[in-house]
Structure 1
Amino acid sequence: MRVHLGSDHAGLELKDHLLTWLVDHGYEAVDHGPFVYDALDDYPCFCLRAAEGVAADRTEGLDSLGVVIGGSGNGEQIAANKVEGIRCALAWSEETAALAREHNDANVVSVGGRMHPVDDMTRFVEVFLSTDFSGDERHVRRIGQLSTYDESGELPPLPESALRGPDTDASRDRTDA
Structure 2
Amino acid sequence: MRVHLGSDHAGLDLKDHLTDWLVEHGYEVVDHGPFVYDALDDYPVFCLRAAEGVAADRSEGLDSLGVVIGGSGNGEQMAANKVHGIRCALVWSEETAVLAREHNDANVVSVGGRMHSLEEMTRFVEVFLSTEFPGDERHVRRIGQLTTYDETHELPPLPESALRGRDSSPGGPDA
TM-score normalised to the size of structure 2?
0.94
Q: Secondary structure at the match of 1:155?
A: coil
- Write the mapping of 1:1-177 to structure 2, written as runs, cut at 5 A: 1-165=1-165
Within 1, Cα distance between the matches of 2:23 and 2:162? Answer: 49
Within 1, Cα distance between the matches of 2:60 and 2:159? Answer: 36
Within 2, Cα distance between the matches of 1:142 and 1:159? Answer: 13
Within 2, Cα distance between the matches of 1:17 and 1:89? Answer: 21
The number of residue pairs the alignment matches comes to 167
In structure 2, give the amino acid aligned to 1:117: S
Q: Residue by residue, what CA displacement relative to the aligned partner does 1:73-100 show, whole Å, maximum 9, x if unpaired?
A: 0000000000000000000000000000
Could you tell me which residue of structure 2 aligns to residue 174 of structure 1?
none
Within 1, Cα distance between the matches of 2:118 and 2:159? Answer: 42
Deviation at 1:166, TM superposition (A): 5.9
Deviation at 1:37, TM superposition (A): 0.3
Within 1, Cα distance between the matches of 2:166 and 2:59? Answer: 46
Q: Secondary structure at the match of 2:30?
A: strand
In structure 1, give the amino acid aligned to 2:131: T
Could you tell me which residue of structure 1 aligns to residue 173 of structure 2?
none
Within 1, Cα distance between the matches of 2:32 and 2:6? Answer: 5
Within 1, Cα distance between the matches of 2:91 and 2:135? Answer: 20
Percent identity between matched residues is: 87
Within 2, Cα distance between the matches of 1:153 and 1:49? Answer: 24
TM-score normalised to the size of structure 1?
0.93
Q: Secondary structure at the match of 1:106?
A: coil
Q: Secondary structure at the match of 1:35?
A: coil
Query: Measured at CA, do residues 82 and 23 of structure 1 come closer, stay the same or move farther in structure 2, by a change above 3 Å?
Result: same
Could you tell me which residue of structure 2 aligns to residue 172 of structure 1?
none
CA RMSD of aligned residues (A): 0.9
Deviation at 1:161, TM superposition (A): 1.6
Query: Measured at CA, do residues 21 and 98 of structure 1 come closer, stay the same or move farther in structure 2, by a change above 3 Å?
Result: same
Moved over 2 A (4+): none
